[in-house]
Structure 1
Amino acid sequence: MQRRTAVERGMTLKAIDEARRLLSSEAFTETAVLLSGGTDLAEAYRTRLLRAIDTFTQHFGSDREIAVFSAPGRTELGGNHTDHQRGHVLAASINLDVIAVVARRTDRTICVKSEGFPADVISLDELEPVTDQKPTAAELIRGAAAWFQQYGCPLDTGFDAYTTSQVMPGSGLSSSAAFEVLLGNICNALYADNRFTPVELAQMGQYAENVYFHKPCGLMDQMASSVGGAVAIDFANPVKPVVHPVKFDFSSTGYALCIVDTGGNHADLTEEYAAIPREMGAVAKYFGKDVLSEVKSEQVLCSIPELRKACGDRAVLRAMHFYREDGRAQGESDALERGDFEAFLHLVQNSGESSYCLLQNVYPSSVPAEQPVSIAIAVGSAVLGGRGAIRVHGGGFGGTVQAFVPSVLLSQFRDGMEAVLGEGCCHVLQIRPIGGMTILI
């Protein structure tokens, strides 16, 4: 699969005025519609790109040749915490993204200025992970550069980049994966002649997050952001996951995909996240295996008394969630492909109940008095009255709730969420058909 380029092809970067002209042209409108989520959003997306170029020039100068890149956030449709056990997931890229305006440097320094944050600066001569301090975005940049070096495409010079993101940090839409995929697309286009596939760039992002950011994430977030559209993924072989695009028009269902930001901050909950793969792995290791997908569910069910003593009750419950959720993710994909949206919604609702009762990632056990996700699910369920579906979204513990809301209930649902959780908490999203990409080069 070749990387996608929206405006022209070739490796000569564009002068600032030429970049503005191309992004302002009618030829770019179709791409703006695809990336933004609709004709009513396309002009705002174009304006955002042009403003990003203006801000780039303020930080890095106007006498530069630039390229422009985009990587979307993602929504998990099925497979809550199944990827790290080499199971199945169903995910999709969304119409909220992080964009970058980039120019090459002549030295061996990378400088990334992200909107609202201090600049992150690294040297290409110092690519070992930093282990004696809390990791920052600079470590993700260092990890991306190191990965390309390991795979035979070292960055010969650095680059300057200005980034701006619609993917809210801590929202469960995976701003970190979008940033990693963005870095992968930058390095792939500027230094590797687009040699690496979307799947490989997703693996690069996971490597940077695992090894350099010290967060034991799976691969679903990066894969959904990088590949784009709705995708069913089988992680049985993590080196070569099987990615299957799922063709389904969500806009034709009469339902809105809503993501509700509950206001909970999961930035300091790494241990809560890490406990899930650790406890699932403990059950697998009881049977001499590394991950649960290598153990038959019947073995776990027949060994519950022994597993409770060896691993603890929560580990057993989380293992039971894995097997049920793994099957549900496959069932959701099948339901969409045969056009049975009601069956899909039923499975999404079941997934939410399993995450709440078995996986137990709706609120942090360390702070039981704070349960914004639980509140959101309770309020949303009351509004939906058994229609649609609502569930914890993504890693859990603090961030967001996902809901499929009948269009006729959308205003009521949004009003109910905002009355409890604050104005602007409910976001109506579209599935973006394109993953990480070069917009302009």
Structure 2
Amino acid sequence: MKTTGEVKNLLQNRELDSTLLDIYLDESRLDYQRQRYIDALTRYEELYGTGEIAIFSAPGRSEIGGNHTDHQHGEVLAASINLDAIAITAPLAEPVVRVVSDGYDMITVSLDDLGVKDELMGTTDSLIRGVLEGIKNHGGKIGGFQAYVTSDVLIGAGLSSSAAFETIIGTIVSGLYNEMKLSPVDIAIIGQYAENVHFGKPSGLMDQMASSVGNLVHIDFADVAHPVIENVSCDLAKYGYSLCITDTKGSHADLTPDYAAVPAEMRAVAAVLGQELLHGITLEQLFSHAAEIREKTGDRAYLRAIHFVTENVRVQEEVAALKAEDFDAFLKTVKASGDSSFKYLQNVYTNHDTTHQNVSVALAVSDAILGSNGVSRVHGGGFAGTIQAFVKNEAVAGYKAALDGVFGEGACDVLMIRKYGGMQVL
């Protein structure tokens, strides 16, 4: 391992530019990334002193297709993006983990006390101990370390900052104590365990999988312990399009019940049909049992079940379109996915606060601005956060100006699909 000072010198002399460009893809942001790493190293020195270090990275993710299907063992199409969490870290001889995230106090976790603590539910502390316990339960080695973590994956913006954090903790332990041999799939499953059991959020596995595995991937969760992962090629530049993500600045406060209701209602419909999950249930079954399902679960649950079944098919259609290099068909299916999320899944705004509909506004503005120059859809879990748009390159400047005009300067960002998931940078 190199010392903090040695890595700073490499960065300042631009000797790591090729590494940074390989990871982040955007040459126009090299100065930003270079300074970001230098600042992180400086902050690490302030916290822990100089010495040998390792650097790890874990990206945020963009869901392309499969909105709220993973928790029912469905299919998704998701991509890692060139926004990430980075960690400057070093191993410790003592059985303790110390982590400082940018702007927050130090968290200290004893390796001798990794059980679930109700009082820590919903905290970063719970995610750290959950990942550590999960690795141990999976037969991996764990050990002490100190780390400074900084992230440009916006918290609460639908890009899965929590999954990036879970992935980076798992990747640190993989690098420091397991020779980077913990598989990305295991790290994702462990991250979901931390979020479900320790943090207390009933998330599916898509976010963690996209962050840990990386690139553009089609994932089938039919066997959730052994998901089938397929890399899918998509060169947006070849088609003359850019991926735009707009943070609508909606608050995620008190939305956990909204998120939790989606899988709960889908499971309720499945139960009427004698199953635990919606996986494997057909539209014909939903239609033939419509009266019973609606009476026992309500109409929203019924509509959400229709969304799941049809969304699974749309994921397959998106993948087929990309493989056939039929980008117009791909865009048509992306738009259909967004329409289904709005009308049937109903995760664009919360019924508990109809006066604030940031995502709805963003979609309406996008439709008006884009016309035939692109498509937009709700992004991620929904209810607040971000929208996603595929925009013709020549229309990006105008689109960005319009969305920034509504939600504030810098709300709309142009991102790229990153080829790496959780990784060791140095």
TM class by shorter-chain length? over 0.9
Q: Compute the displacement of 1:267 (Å).
A: 4.0
Q: Deviations over 1:3-32 (max 9, x none)?
A: xxxxxxxxxx32223333455566633221
Does residue 348 of structure 1 match 2:334? yes
Q: Compute the displacement of 1:134 (Å).
A: 4.0
Equivalences for residues 177-216 of structure 1 within 5 A: 177-216=163-202
Does residue 31 of structure 1 match 2:19? yes
Among 321, 337, 349, the residue aligned to 1:363: 349
Q: Compute the displacement of 1:107 (Å).
A: 1.5
Q: Compute the displacement of 1:108 (Å).
A: 1.6
Does residue 115 of structure 1 match 2:130? no
| Residue 263 of structure 1: aligned partner | 249
Q: RMSD of the TM alignment (CA)?
A: 1.4
| Residue 386 of structure 2: aligned partner | 400
Of stretches 244-253 and 125-134 in structure 1, the one that deviates more from structure 2 is 125-134
CA distance in structure 1 between the partners assigned to 2:177 and 2:320 by the alignment: 39
Q: Which secondary structure state, in structure 1, belongs to the residue aligned with residue 308 of structure 2?
A: helix
Letter aligned with residue 211 of structure 1: V
| Residue 112 of structure 2: aligned partner | 125
| Residue 235 of structure 1: aligned partner | 221
Q: Compute the displacement of 1:166 (Å).
A: 0.5
Q: Deviations over 1:94-140 (max 9, x none)?
A: 00000000011221221110111112211111100111354210111
Letter aligned with residue 181 of structure 1: T
Q: Compute the displacement of 1:296 (Å).
A: 2.6
Equivalences for residues 68-107 of structure 1 within 5 A: 68-107=55-94
Among 410, 420, 425, the residue aligned to 1:434: 420
Letter aligned with residue 42 of structure 1: L
Q: Which secondary structure state, in structure 2, belongs to the residue aligned with residue 201 of structure 1?
A: helix
Equivalences for residues 237-252 of structure 1 within 5 A: 237-252=223-238
Q: Compute the displacement of 1:54 (Å).
A: 1.0
Structure 1 unmatched ranges of 5 or more? 1-12
Letter aligned with residue 159 of structure 1: F
Q: Are the equivalent residues in 1 in contact too, given 2:304–2:345 (CA < 8 A)?
A: yes
| Residue 324 of structure 1: aligned partner | 310
Letter aligned with residue 166 of structure 2: E
Does residue 149 of structure 1 match 2:129? no
Q: Which secondary structure state, in structure 2, belongs to the residue aligned with residue 292 of structure 1?
A: coil
Does residue 280 of structure 1 match 2:262? no
CA distance in structure 2 between the partners assigned to 1:378 and 1:200 by the alignment: 39
Of stretches 279-288 and 246-255 in structure 1, the one that deviates more from structure 2 is 246-255
Q: Deviations over 1:163-185 (max 9, x none)?
A: 11000001100000000110110
| Residue 294 of structure 1: aligned partner | 280
| Residue 308 of structure 1: aligned partner | 294
Q: Are the equivalent residues in 2 in contact too, given 1:32–1:43 (CA < 8 A)?
A: no
CA distance in structure 2 between the partners assigned to 1:336 and 1:176 by the alignment: 29
CA distance in structure 1 between the partners assigned to 2:260 and 2:416 by the alignment: 30
Q: Deviations over 1:211-249 (max 9, x none)?
A: 110111111111111111100000000000000000121
Q: Which secondary structure state, in structure 1, belongs to the residue aligned with residue 373 of structure 2?
A: coil
Q: Which secondary structure state, in structure 2, belongs to the residue aligned with residue 41 of structure 1?
A: helix
Q: Which secondary structure state, in structure 1, belongs to the residue aligned with residue 270 of structure 2?
A: helix
Q: Deviations over 1:52-91 (max 9, x none)?
A: 11110001111x2210000000000001001111111000
Q: Which secondary structure state, in structure 2, belongs to the residue aligned with residue 118 of structure 1?
A: coil
Q: Which secondary structure state, in structure 2, belongs to the residue aligned with residue 148 of structure 1?
A: helix
**Segments of 4+ moved more than 6 angstroms:** none
Letter aligned with residue 56 of structure 1: Y
Q: Are the equivalent residues in 1 in contact too, given 2:281–2:309 (CA < 8 A)?
A: no
Q: Compute the displacement of 1:386 (Å).
A: 3.8
Q: Are the equivalent residues in 1 in contact too, given 2:2–2:52 (CA < 8 A)?
A: yes
Q: Deviations over 1:407-436 (max 9, x none)?
A: 222122112112221121111111111111
